[in-house]
Amino acid sequence: MKAFPRTLLSGAPFHSASCQTLHPHLAASLTALGAPSLVRAGSTRHGLSPGLYSTVKLRSAPTLARRFSTDKKPGAEEPPPFAFAFDIDGVLLHVEKPIPGASETLQYLHKHNIPFILLTNGGGKHETERVSDLSARLDVPLSTDNFVQSHTPFQELVHDGPEGEGLRDKNILVTGSNAAKSRDIAEAYGFRKVITPADILMAHPSIWPFEPLMKELYAATARPLPTPQPKVDAIFVFNDPRDWALDFQIIVDLLLSRGGVLGTYSPKNGCADLPNAGWQEDGQPRLYFSNQDLFWAAQYHFPRFGQGAFQGALRGIWREVTGGAGALRSTVIGKPHGLTYGYAERVLNAHRAKVLGTDPDRLGPLRRVYMVGDNPESDIRGANEYRSPVGTDWASVLVRTGVWSAERGRPKHEPRMVVDDVEAAVDWALKQEDWR
């Protein structure tokens, strides 16, 4: 895959505490399929003009299933000027099982060479492993060519780091739902000196003066530190951490350090005459988060906290540590950020050319990409706010099978269309495009 432009990860952070807003009111329950859908009145084909919501009843799942089971190819000689981007959890899968109609929908698009990409804030597995697993679960051929997950862009920092020098041979700290797995992914990306919280805890047990929550796992996965007090140049949160307390302690220790050296304390901390009151002004490691999702759809009937909750808690701790004098500087990627959507658009265009068997330069730009998601704060907001450099319109479609539900009121970021599920989303989009 192509790397992000340097301005995304290696330049100045484009997301900081000043623009972080958490919305606990988004907690939502799942609703039964078949409930009336909210549709934006005034929508027109191709133009997709905005308007107020009105209530309509979409076709039932069995009817849609028959729609996608047809062998009739859409009646158009030119390649489709549109494509799809799908979130995964809450759109295609629920607790690792396909949502009804998801497999048939992707199979239909694949059969008729209608390009699509999977764009997820999930992570925790290498792209090749995740794609193999998704292909088997959804029963449709997938590849890394049309797959982007939250930490995929971290690869660019191997060769193009914050100061113009890559991080391949520098010490980095990684954590996530399984820090040892995150290390494996980072090493597969090309990072050579990867440290986990377990490494630090096993080398310095007193750094956490409580009984570790995952003591046996830490002991089994820890590696010796490169030096007793290593200099850490970057911190990566690959996906939702599990042992928040230990991770918070180590991350804050490093952000307070002198030059990123573990076990040191910067004399610049709290100096009022320095920028940011001296906090993170002494060569401390850059802090990278792979997404800001506050909620995600899991097995429980209400959405569960995601990485955004971890970030919110860390920012609260940092505010207490600094007395509110210093903002927590960090870089957050993933949806809803426009640069992530720009990266996804480039990947999608390359995949489209491959699907159609032609040179990308011979294809005109896509007229429209339908972003189908379940989270108004990431999927819908990102599509609504993204402005394509080639004029491609990103049309947001919200499904009822994941984070959002109508019981909690209208979404803060309004989509072009609200439908029951992914099958209905694609059916609606095909009608907008007169694609039969």
**Are 165 and 304 members of one domain?**
yes
What's the rounded mean pLDDT across residues 55-68? 45
Q: Kindly state whether residues 112 and 164 are assigned to the same domain.
A: no
Whether residues 295 and 394 share a domain: the answer is: no
Output the pLDDT for position 27. Answer: 33
Which 3 state secondary structure label does DSSP give 65? helix
- Of 310, 332, 354, the residue at which a domain comes to its end is 332
pTM here is: 0.76
Based on the fold, state whether residues 164 and 302 are members of the same structural domain.
yes
> What pLDDT is stored for residue 57 in this prediction?
39
Residue 247 within a domain: yes
DSSP state for residue 277 in the 8-state scheme: G
Residues 144 and 175 in one domain: no
Alpha helices in 139-240 (DSSP H): 179-189, 197-203, 215-221
Alpha helices (runs of H) in 208-306, residue ranges in sequence order: 215-221, 244-255
Between the CA of residue 18 and those of 307, 311, 345, what are the distances in Å?
18, 13, 27
pLDDT tens per residue across span 218-260 = 999 999 999 999 999 999 999 999 999 999 999 999 999 999 9
What's the pLDDT tens digit per position in 129-148?
999 999 999 999 999 999 99
Structural domain containing residue 192:
153-332
Residues 177 and 263 occupy one common structural domain: yes
Q: What is the CATH number of the domain that holds 236?
A: 3.40.50.1000
Domain check: are 267 and 144 in the same one?
Answer: no
Same domain, 180 and 273: yes
Max Cα separation, the chain? 71
Let me know if residue 352 belongs to a domain: yes
Residue 68 lies in a domain: no
**Same-domain status, 240 and 162:** yes
Residue 353 and residue 284 share a domain? no
Q: Tell which of 288, 315, 332 closes a domain.
A: 332
316, part of any domain: yes
